[in-house]
A = this chain, B = another copy of it.
Amino acid sequence: MTTVLLRLTLLCGCVVGLAGAAAAQTGAEVARAYREAHAPAIVRDYAEMLAYPNRARDLDDVTRAAAYIRNKLRDAGVDTRLLTLDGVPPLVFGELRVPGAQRTLGLYAHYDGQPVDPSNWTHPPFEPTLYTSAMDSGGRPRGLPADTEGVDPEWRVYARSAGDDKAPIQALLSVIHAFRDGEVTPTSNLIFFFDGQEEAGSPRLGDYMELVRERVEGVDVWLFCDGPAHQSGRPLLALGARGSMGMEVTVYGATRNLHSGHYGNWAPDTGMILARLLSSMKDETGRVSIDGWYDTAEPLSEEADAALRAMPDWDSQLKQELGLARTEGEPQTLPERLMVPALNVRGMTSGNTGPLARNIIPNTAVAALGIRLVQGNDPAHLRRLVVAHIERQGFHVVADDPDLDARLRHPLIAKVTGGGGSVAARTSISDPFVMQVIAAATDAADRAFVEGALVISPGLGGTLPIALFTDVWQKPALVVPIANHDNNQHAPDENLRLANLWYGIDLFAEILTMP
């Protein structure tokens, strides 16, 4: 530890003299001291931010959430404004120019959240609730801490977006405040770019970038502050991410729900029709049976393949934790499976189950498909493959609910909607700016965990709008996640473990003061 500190102090351009302090402190030390002194206030501030509803489709809500964050950033001394485009959430843009800085960092995060079905949450998703540890490990709810209380890093705050993706915003705010208080100057110019439409696929992010073209062009490396840490609990840095596409398939029976007694055995059984269609798409080993599904996936580069092989094999522990006797695609490991395009059923609806189940034959059955793309995959192409497959199963494919005439002409009809998606992206590990960030993240991980803790992945399984930065604007981009891997991202009871917020503060302090 001493060695690391020494090395940092020697290398770091950010060594500052603190008025009245006996020894010079690194930026990371300043941030850590600030965090330790202000932990209860940081937790309360974070809870306040999480209380702002942030579904991308609720424009009023999401705009209020954006204004709140803009004000917080401005209070921290960042030159801030809301970029706006008609009908979509604003983008929180911020800029901190550092006289003499030779590098500009772009800091991407998103303040919008996934849709919520409050009936499945233990607490309302926008009433942040602190727990003494994870709910499913016997954690108990407790009030927000007063200034005089100690804060346990194992505490978790439960709320939508606690893990995905307001945590890095809070961590960055805390670091900026710590630096102001401690008179630390970052070593790079900073561009803050907080997206309000990530969970909706960031369809207008490119337009927002055009609005501040000269700023975007000046960025040397983008940091995507999003996603969870490695499942082992070790910190993670990723050189890319998969793309994502959602599709929805609806199959049709009669024009109305029918009584299962009076029509059962005669009326088309929509659930069975959908089941047959879905099961034609993927075999028992997890291999997608859609013609051409794997054809456009590019092979990994040598350096990406090397990074992949260096990753820890955590499958056994993960299977134990998640209660899985078998995984899809065994014996391939999770990191290997994330390098391949995925097709999943993310939702399925027909009639009702449980106490609301009724004796009907539902007139529709619906499946929501979740597709993840790897480098080389084009969303429109994969969509065409899915549609062609459905047609080969004998379905007449339509874009809208069929009218009576179409129903009478086609025994099998499938409505296919959705499909606008994002491509995958990868950044080269040998880019000099990338190497600087990796060095800083390595230091932060060494300090917060143990030497060599940082896991470097060739690509996240999740999706970020990285390709816009790497392919369109030709900038290197890295993913630096901080959330705990079991944060229930996108699911009910989403949460953040405070230790992960603390690590985020360490990480950004290190990166913002890297040589």
Question: A485-511 toward B: CB 8 Å interface, digit per residue (1/0)?
Answer: 110111110000000000000000000
Closest chain B CB from A124 CB (angstroms): 16
Question: CB within 8 Å of B: which of A455-493?
Answer: 460-463, 485-486, 488-492
A contacts, CB < 8 Å to B: 57, 114-115, 117, 136, 227-228, 241-242, 244, 246, 248, 252-272, 274-279, 281-282, 284, 286, 319-329, 332, 334, 337-338, 340-342, 344-362, 365-368, 370, 372, 402, 404, 407-411, 460-463, 485-486, 488-492
**Residues A266 and B359 in contact in the complex (CB < 8 Å), given A275-B275, A350-B347, A460-B261:** no
In the complex, the answer to whether A256 meets B322 with C-beta atoms within 8 Å is yes
Per the bound structure, the CA–CA distance linking A51 and B265 in Å amounts to 34
- How far apart are A312's CB and chain B's nearest CB, in angstroms? 15
Give bound CA distance, A245 to B399, whole Å: 37
Residues of B within 8 Å of A254, CB to CB, are: 322-324
Of the candidates A227, A270, A324, the one having the most CB atoms from chain B within 10 angstroms of its own CB is A324
Q: Are A359 and B114 touching (Cβ within 8 A)? A: yes
Q: Is the CB of B490 within 8 A of A345?
A: no
Given A244-B359, A279-B276, A356-B115: A267 and B328 interface contact (C-beta under 8 Å)? yes
Pair A261/B372 contact, Cβ less than 8 Å: yes
Q: Is the CB of B286 within 8 A of A278?
A: no
Closest B residue, CB atoms, query A370: B260
A136: chain B residues at CB < 8 Å are 255-256
Knowing A322-B255, A362-B346, A408-B320 touch, does A353 contact B368 (C-beta < 8 A)?
yes
Residue from A258, A261, A329, A366 having most chain B Cβ neighbours under 10 A = A261
- A416 to chain B minimum Cβ distance, whole angstroms, is 13
Shortest C-beta distance, A339 to chain B (Å), equals 9
Whether A278 and B272, one on each chain, are in contact in the complex, defined by CB atoms closer than 8 angstroms, is yes
Q: How far is the CB of A117 from chain B (nearest CB, A)?
A: 5
A278 near B267 (CB under 8 angstroms)? no
6 contacts between A and B (CB under 8 A): A248-B354, A261-B461, A264-B372, A272-B281, A275-B278, A359-B490
The interface residues of chain B lying within 8 Å CB-to-CB of A275 are 274-279, 345, 348
In the complex where A348-B349, A348-B350, A357-B368 touch, is A340 in contact with B278 (Cβ < 8 A)? no
- Which B residues lie within 8 Å of A347 (CB)? 271, 350-353, 356-358, 362
Beyond A261-B463, A323-B407, A325-B411, whether A279 also contacts B272 by CB under 8 A is: yes
* Distance between Cα atoms of A262 and B361 in the complex (Å): 36
Q: Which of A252, A284, A360 has most B Cβ within 10 Å? A: A360
**Which single residue of chain B is at the shortest CB-CB distance from A349?**
B353
Q: Tell me which residues across on chain B come within 8 A of A286, comparing CB atoms.
A: 265, 269
Report whether B325 and A461 are in contact in the complex, using a CB–CB cutoff of 8 Å: no
Contact: B360 with A491, CB < 8 Å?
yes
The 10 closest A-B pairs by CB, nearest first: A271-B345, A261-B462, A323-B407, A347-B351, A326-B411, A275-B278, A265-B342, A264-B342, A254-B322, A257-B491
Are A344 and B117 closer than 8 Å at their CB atoms?
Answer: no
